[in-house]
Amino acid sequence: VRISVSRYSGNLSVRTEALRTSLRLLVVHTALPESNVQSLSELEKRLAELKELADEMRLAREHIGQTEKSIAQGRERCRKKMDAFIKKKDARNIISSQLRSKAARVHAIETDKPDLTVAAQKFEKVKDEIIAESFERVEKIAKLMEKRKSHIQDALFATLSAKKVLNEMDALKKQLNQFDEEYESKSDAIRLTEIAVKMAMQRVREDKQRFYESIGIEDSSTSEATEALKILKKDFDRYNIPNTKEEVELQMAHEQGKLDALHSEGEKKDIERFEKLTLKRQSLIKEVTAIKKDVSEWENKLDRLLEQWLHQLENVIEKLNQYFSSFFENMGCSGEVHLQKPDDKRDIPKYGILITAKFREGERLRELTNQTQSGGERSVITMLYILALQKLTVVPFRCVDEINQGMDPKNEKIVFNMIVDMLSNDDDLAKTQYFILTPKLVPDLKFNQKTKIHCIYSGGKLDKRKSWNVTEFLKSMSDQQVITDS
């Protein structure tokens, strides 16, 4: 046992070392000398004393350790008390300084205390000056207000006049543009007409020359030509010759038919055939007239039915547009639904629905196409359009498959919460059972008592599904949620 004292802290340190075994003790002796026996008993006695001393030293060391611990705790308590005392002392000094400052200020105030009579006189004087100055300022403000009112009226009249002049200028510009367009079109028409007139005059001259040649007159400027024209005119008037070429050819064909009839002998059957054809012609004329009348009636009926159909269809589209626009407004975007009509109102296959939407400020409404919007935007538009349709028609249940694929998390959350709100209120749509099939859902969605989630697991490695304890799963998730919330 070795005991030492630290020169720095003064603490005792005790170190116990094992005694080395003497090699002689390992040798077996058949007999011990008497002196050795006596030495052995003394050693054993000494060993017992050393053990007692070691126990005492161990107890002393433990006592010293406890004492050191108590001293350390006492030091810590003293340090804390000293810190508290220093803080109180500092606070006392601060308060004393503040009290001295307040006392000096009070003394200064008492020393510099003004004369109340003089102060009252100065106050009254300043008050009168302020009142007089206030009246002057009020008068100035009133005058400025009158001037401002007059200026505003003048500016308003000038603005209205300017707007009126600008509107008139715009109208005059539009009229001028229309006049320019009409002038250009009429100028083109005049040029075309002049060309047509020149060509017609050329044809007239050519026809006139051929006409003179046909009646044997070579020079149209001679008196002979003039006399021949007078004779022809008299003959034309006497025989009622038509003025157009078509009428002349028709009359020639009619006269040729008469001439052919005069040269033929004719039979009774020809007369009967003529009478039958005449009756058939009259019958066909009546039939065509009746068919035209039926067609006109059917067209009128079709127009009436088409008007009724269009009226109902426009009402449906208007309601659909209201729901669709409302859904988009809830998302902070804009969307509209319109009826697309063809030029021919009877061309039913060309009627359609035009869907437009915009998702960002500063954009215009753009038609829904495969190239205009992204896949996520098309999914949002399609889902909101389906929801708007469902507001018009109530059915027992609906099912949509992976409609949220491609949506960004924000829009997916808005659309899902919108579906939950629509199906949870008291209107007719709440009577519909709604199935949404999806491989994933974003977190923090809205759920209520009417919402149920079914997780479908399938695969060849799910052999232990029968041993799953769903209640324990739910309890574990609930406990985890409580820990997360806390």
b/e sequence 297-324, b meaning 16+ C-beta within 10 Å: eeeeeeeeeeeeeeeeeeeebeebbebb
Residue 257 pLDDT: 65
Query: pTM of this prediction?
Result: 0.40
* Chain segment 285-309, per-residue pLDDT in tens: 888 888 888 888 888 888 888 889 8
Domains of the chain: 1-18+34-113 (no CATH), 308-485 (3.40.50.300)
What are the residues whose beta carbons fall under 8 Å from the beta carbon of 310, sequence distance 6 or more?
A: 345
Q: Show the tokens assigned to 457.
A: 């697991």
* Chain segment 383-435, per-residue pLDDT in tens: 888 888 888 877 788 888 887 777 788 878 888 888 888 777 777 666 778 88
Provide the β-strand partners of residue 13. 4
What CA–CA distance (Å, rounded) separates 306 from 313?
Answer: 10
Residue 114 pLDDT: 59
Place of tokens 């433990």: 62
Strand bridging mode 2-5 / 352-358: unpaired
Residue scoring higher pLDDT (243 or 449): 449
Strand bridging mode 334-340 / 12-15: unpaired
Residue 355 pLDDT: 92
* Chain segment 440-479, per-residue pLDDT in tens: 888 888 888 888 888 887 776 666 666 677 788 788 888 8
Q: Are 391 and 356 in contact (CB under 8 A)?
A: no
Q: Is 327 exposed, middle or buried (0-12, 13-18, 19+ CB in 10 A)?
A: buried
What CA–CA distance (Å, rounded) separates 254 from 246?
Answer: 12
Residue 337 pLDDT: 92
Residue 464 pLDDT: 64
Q: What do you get for the CA distance between the two ends of the chain, in Å?
A: 57
In DSSP notation, 103-154 reads: HHHHHHHHHTPPPHHHHHHHHHHHHHHHHHHHHHHHHHHHHHHHHHHHHHHH
pLDDT higher than 80, residue 10: no
Q: Show the tokens assigned to 355.
A: 């869907």
pLDDT higher than 80, residue 159: no
